[in-house]
Structure 1
Amino acid sequence: MDTRKTWPGAISAYLKHLRAAGRSPGTLRIHRYYLGLLRTIAPCPALVSTERLDTWLSEHEWQPETRRSAQGVASTFFKYLLAEEILKKDPTLGLAPVHVPDGVPHPAPESAVKHALANAPDRTALMIRFAAFCGLRACEIATLRGTDWDGELLRVKGKGGRVRVIPVQDKTLICELEQSPGWLFQGRIDGHLSAQYTAKLLGEYLPPGITGHALRHRFGTVAYRATHDLLAVGAVMGHAKTDTTKRYIQLDLDPLARAVQAAQI
């Protein structure tokens, strides 16, 4: 029997395929997590049906973004099995696309950023600077190395293993990058901190209700107001589409008020 037709064999072959494609460890962990949940719905991959997938996706109390991620993992997994002729049909073809409502920008207020920088320990303050001043995600901050900095540009590996460059301007960050040959934030995950713990630290010194991710929204908002260049802001933030960048930008109310005022009689 082809062991790839069993859950352990199919998952192992699929993850090996992702590693060969250069997918990041974070991406592998996400796929492994969702496939661990998926394997509970049928004795083997061949017995997974569209109906069972619908039940699986609906029974979890997931946010729309999470539900879409789970469906995406299932889709790429079964497409791989089909391409390798491990299965003869793809049960995800009958799934309806997951609707994700447009996100509402929620940038951290400038007062909150200043308060956090003034009160956080040095290591956490550095994380806050990378999020608020460079637009980095928690998972990207967690895996920063001093060798990612070439004296002018910071190379950041983001979602999907895509690498982008950021011309860091903050002198404190530049100094730290130049003095740290290894991991900037050492921890227990292959020598560095986990993304989850980094996100927790980012939000620890912010006011209640404001998460570390709001620092990234703050960067998008401030950067766009200064440049009005969606492509440039999206490139720094690591977005493949400008529609994604738009969800991070809170429009300045002054131009909106002028637009409404101009229409008055």
Structure 2
Amino acid sequence: MITAPWIQAIDQFCIAQRSAGLRETSIRARREHLQHLARRVDVGPWEVTKHILVQYTGSQSWMPETRRGRRSTFAEFWKWGKRFGYVDRSPVKALPKVKATKGKARPIPEPLYRQSLARADDRTGLMLRLAHDAGMRRGEIAVVHSRDLAEDLLGWSLLVHGKGGKLRVVPLTRRLALDLRALGEGYAFPGAIDGHLSARRVGELAIDVLPDGWTIHKLRHSFGTRALKESGGNVLIVQELMGHASADTTRIYTEIDPDDVRAVVDSAYDKSVNAGLTPKLRLLEGVA
């Protein structure tokens, strides 16, 4: 149960965040972070000590990136509280900083993806395809709107509302464009939150049809890996398509095909070693 002091503090904090121009999706996420904490401590927001906060975070089975996100929320919350005179010092300083982890691409195998599509209804199947065929995040899928569809001389594209309010244009396959246009005007996935489904709900619907251990975000890995291969290894193109601020982030989402690695080795060998062989030795090398 969330007590009145917590409700009031969280509401006021969210208003301040909105005043600072933070996106509604980010405000909603920070609200959920603070509500999770509020339900698990026995004191009000301004009585939370560093010991209580460390005990709370240490008892959670979170992945490193989740811990980074929660720490960021808590830091902003108590910074705001200190600025407005609700508290003298922030307990967040006692929390150890969590280093960013260098992830590894884990694209979902195509047979598993096809099986998932077969299990999905039309709505969930469209969500899966937006992740798999356009590389979109679940939060981006949730807010797809008819007004963001546009046609040019080459086909249809979608204006994607990415993280941090960043926009990018993603070309759509003919099938995706046709199915999105057939939905008519408005949000592609209507819901109760500002007229559309939440990012969390999109993820839940995908998990219902994906095999155990797989999430819709792994379909984004699949897109990144395929896009890298089809672009001839051009990381900058893939970075643009996926909306990454850094090419280093893009590399995390892309898996190098082992066949391509072997082909590079063989080609390098052929061009360097065979160049110095006599016709007779070259013939023997081919037999070997």
**By the TM > 0.5 criterion, same fold?**
yes
AA of the residue aligned to 2:258: L
Q: Offset at 1:224?
A: 1.8
Q: Offset at 1:68?
A: 1.9
Root mean square deviation of aligned Cα: 2.8
SS in 2 for 1:151: strand
When structure 1 is superposed on structure 2, of 253-262 and 93-102 the one drifting more is: 253-262
Conserved? CA contact 1:221–1:249, under 8 Å = yes
When structure 1 is superposed on structure 2, of 168-177 and 218-227 the one drifting more is: 168-177
Counterpart check, 1:21 vs 2:39? no
Deviations 1:165-197 (A, max 9, x none): 223231122223334211112234343333333
Question: Match for 1:158 among 151, 159, 162?
Answer: 162
Q: Offset at 1:259?
A: 6.5
1 CA distance for matches of 2:49 and 2:151?
53
AA of the residue aligned to 1:177: L
Q: Offset at 1:242?
A: 3.0
Deviations 1:116-142 (A, max 9, x none): 445643323322221111111122212
2 CA distance for matches of 1:18 and 1:159?
16
After superposition, the Cα gap between the structure-2 partners of 1:56 and 1:120, relative to the gap in structure 1 and judged at 3 Å, is closer
Question: Match for 1:176 among 168, 176, 179?
Answer: 179
Name the counterpart of 2:247.
242
AA of the residue aligned to 2:197: L
Deviations 1:200-231 (A, max 9, x none): 33344444443322211101111122233334
- Structure 1: state its 5+ residue gaps: 1-5
Where do residues 1-265 of structure 1 align in structure 2 (5 Å cutoff)?
Answer: 6-39=5-38, 40-41=40-41, 43-117=43-117, 120-152=120-152, 153-160=157-164, 162-179=165-182, 180-227=184-231, 228-257=233-262
Conserved? CA contact 2:46–2:87, under 8 Å = yes
- Structure 2: state its 5+ residue gaps: 274-288
1 CA distance for matches of 2:247 and 2:254?
11
2 CA distance for matches of 1:37 and 1:123?
30
After superposition, the Cα gap between the structure-2 partners of 1:235 and 1:48, relative to the gap in structure 1 and judged at 3 Å, is farther
After superposition, the Cα gap between the structure-2 partners of 1:72 and 1:208, relative to the gap in structure 1 and judged at 3 Å, is same
1 CA distance for matches of 2:54 and 2:208?
37
2 CA distance for matches of 1:52 and 1:116?
43
Percent identity reads: 34
Provide the TM-score with structure 2 as the length reference.
0.77
Q: Offset at 1:61?
A: 2.0
AA of the residue aligned to 2:59: E
AA of the residue aligned to 1:237: M
Q: Which has the larger radius of gyration?
A: 2
After superposition, the Cα gap between the structure-2 partners of 1:177 and 1:163, relative to the gap in structure 1 and judged at 3 Å, is farther
2 CA distance for matches of 1:91 and 1:238?
34
After superposition, the Cα gap between the structure-2 partners of 1:229 and 1:89, relative to the gap in structure 1 and judged at 3 Å, is farther
After superposition, the Cα gap between the structure-2 partners of 1:41 and 1:219, relative to the gap in structure 1 and judged at 3 Å, is same
1 CA distance for matches of 2:17 and 2:143?
20
Provide the TM-score with structure 1 as the length reference.
0.83
SS in 2 for 1:150: strand
SS in 1 for 2:22: coil
Aligned residues: 258
SS in 1 for 2:88: coil
Conserved? CA contact 2:158–2:172, under 8 Å = no
